[in-house]
Structure 1
Amino acid sequence: MSQPQLSISPLIDHRGVSVPTFLYGTAWKEERTEALTYQALKAGFLGIDTANQRRHYYEAAVGKAVQQAVVDGLCQRSGLFLQSKFTFVSSQDHRLPYDPKADYSTQVRQSLASSLEHLQTDYLDAFILHGPAARQGLVDADWQVWRTMENLCHTGVVKLLGISNVSFGQLHSLLAEAEIKPAFVQNRCYARSQWDAEIRALCEANGICYQGFSLLTANSTELQQAPILKMAQRLGCTVAQLVFRFALQIGMIPLTGSSNAQHLHDDLASYRLPELNPADRATIEQIGVQP
């Protein structure tokens, strides 16, 4: 397929913010982060997902790539969607972006200040709680963090809030008591759960955009099954394009973290595939579900 023009990723208006419907994820790239983020911006991605968690992300390198892309005329900051996260100590390594002895409100504010410095910007389009503090329910630490995030949102330094790695019960609790409801949920998306169907339904009912990551890597076995391979062959696309076309069609914002320039262009070309018919969509929805 020919390479798409810059800015091919359509935007949606979500609570007054222009949000790309396809994001580039910057996790696990280490010293290649700057070059790969720049490559994604050059390919046409307008949404960048990162986190102030040096264990898995190199946020400062993301910022360097963004600034170089602006200097080179590939984009403007106002036309980009930059999303970062606050991560609890338990999921960090020794390279902390805040004082671990400080109260949670201070940790959140220090983490955000560090993110703004890394990304060389004065606001974030989205600020995400990078997973609740406990596996079950929401604990006091979660609420202290969320209340601080709400306060930051009121100041305008953060436009939208979200939460990642969240269960159905945790999201339900957050919706029940949050002053500012999450605008985004970002989860690892498994075919065996019908692509996180239960949480996606809760998101849809509450005006939340669902962001799905690891769509390919978390489902490698399911995506090698004959019905998927035959469908991709019949439609003249790659399996990755098929999955992304499916995700876009069901209202999901997919993330890709590909390090291959051609794959990035191919991923964006998923927009040009025709809509899946009901039978094909049902096949993909059920591919990982045990009978």
Structure 2
Amino acid sequence: MARPSIGAQASRLARDLPLGISSTSSRIPKLVYGTAWKKDQTADLVYLALKTGFRGIDTAAQPKHYDERGVATGVRRAIGEGIIKREDLFIQTKFTSPAGQSDIAPYDFNAPLADKVHQSVQSSLANFTIDGQEAYLDSLVLHSPMDTIQETITVWKTLETYTPHRIRNLGISNTTLPVLQALFNDMSVKPAVVQNRFHNRTGYETDLRAFCREQKIVFQSFWTVSANRHLLQCSPVREVAQKVGVGAVAAYYSMVLGLGGTTILDGTTSEHHMKEDLEGIEAVGVWAEGQGASDWASALSSFKKLIGEL
């Protein structure tokens, strides 16, 4: 089956998700380009991802594992060449605690916690300043809960001061359900995204994802392929890949997206795989909404059972 190109009217499976509790104007693509560990290739790979069709970028103010400045360089190049406008791009970065930093960080290690947050955010806004435009971030994620709930609340309340204009949405990564529930219940600005590992050691975050769906929080999956090679070979993924004529990764990504309220961090460095992933989930979506509707429903049901989501 020939794979359709991605167009303005994307299938529901590939369509952007609304983001945030109170604002439906902010949206996040189903595939977000992940930039961890790209090092000196970061700028070129971000530019390539945007040129290929990605419209979401994830990074962090954590020089130990990310080159946020390189990400911004790739973004500015794509905007400068007219490939994309800033308003059509979803940019997400993170505040990382001192425990997650090397000796180089975007803040003074001796500063009070709230000041660390301000320094990190200002550094990120400076990196993503586009000529003649006020810089803003579509999402800023707390990289992980702090050592205590009080420190986590301090960071969150400091981030809230930038919403809704300089930071459009707030999120948290590497979190447990109780911490997420506490933030959702107690904070003025509710979490809009949760970025967690998707693997069997955490039961594929079934309970946490259920809470996210209930509260309209977008779940961002990472380690989606690297921690789940066995799922690439499972029967429902193979069935969808064969019937639609797409690769195993695209079929598998489609299954994860089919769980609902989910986006995926895709960090491939291959232009071929970038195109294959973007076009593949669109092709599966078109098939699932048309002639393959019954087969898709059956395959998705089987996939849910495999990961314990009944």
CA contact (8 A) 1:3 1:265 kept: no
Give the match for residue 116 of structure 1.
Answer: 125
Contact 1:55 1:93 in 2 (8 A): yes
Q: Does 1:18 align with 2:24?
A: no
Q: Quote the Cα distance in structure 1 between the aligned partners of 2:68 and 2:166.
A: 18
Quick one: which of 42, 61, 83 aligns to 1:33? 42
Correspondence for 2:292: none
Counterpart of 2:169 in 1: which secondary structure? strand
Q: For the residues of structure 2 that align with 1:2 and 1:260, how far apart are their CA atoms? A: 19
Percent of pairs identical after alignment? 32
Q: For each residue in 1:42-71, what CA deviation from the matched residue of structure 2 results, as whole angstroms up to 9, or x when unmatched? A: 011111110000111000000000000011
Deviation at 1:283, TM superposition (A): 2.5
- Measured after TM superposition, the shift of residue 278 of structure 1 is 2.8
Cα distance in 1 for residues equivalent to 2:3 and 2:272: 10
Gap change, CA 1:248 and 1:91, over 3 Å in 2: same
The equivalent of 1:283 in structure 2 is 302
Counterpart Cα distance in 1 of 2:7 and 2:303:
29
CA–CA separation in structure 1 for the residues paired with 2:4 and 2:95: 35
Task: State how 1:168-247 maps to structure 2 within 5 Å.
Answer: 168-191=177-200, 193=202, 195-225=204-234, 228-247=237-256
**SS at 1:124 equivalent:** coil
Instruction: Using structure 1 for the length normalisation, give the TM-score.
Output: 0.91
**Match of 1:250?**
259
Deviation at 1:171, TM superposition (A): 0.9
Q: CA RMSD in A?
A: 2.2
1-side partners of 2:137 and 2:92: how far apart? 6
**Which structure's relative contact order is higher, taking Cα pairs within 8 Å and 6+ residues apart?**
2
CA–CA separation in structure 2 for the residues paired with 1:6 and 1:282? 28
Cα distance in structure 2, aligned partners of 1:229 and 1:221: 11
CA contact (8 A) 1:53 1:96 kept: yes
**How far 1:178 moved relative to its partner?**
1.1
Identify the match of residue 79 of structure 1 among 84, 88, 109. 88
Structure 2: unaligned runs, 5 residues or longer: 289-294
| 1:189 to partner: Cα distance | 0.9
Q: Is the 8 A contact 1:175 1:181 kept in 2?
A: yes
Shift of 1:21: 2.4
Query: How many Å separate the matches in 2 of 1:5 and 1:226?
Result: 27
Deviation sequence 1:61-114 (CA, Å, 0-9, x none): 000000000111100111111110000000111111001111111111100111
Query: For 1:147, which of 157, 161, 165 is the aligned residue?
Result: 157
Aligned pairs, how many?
286
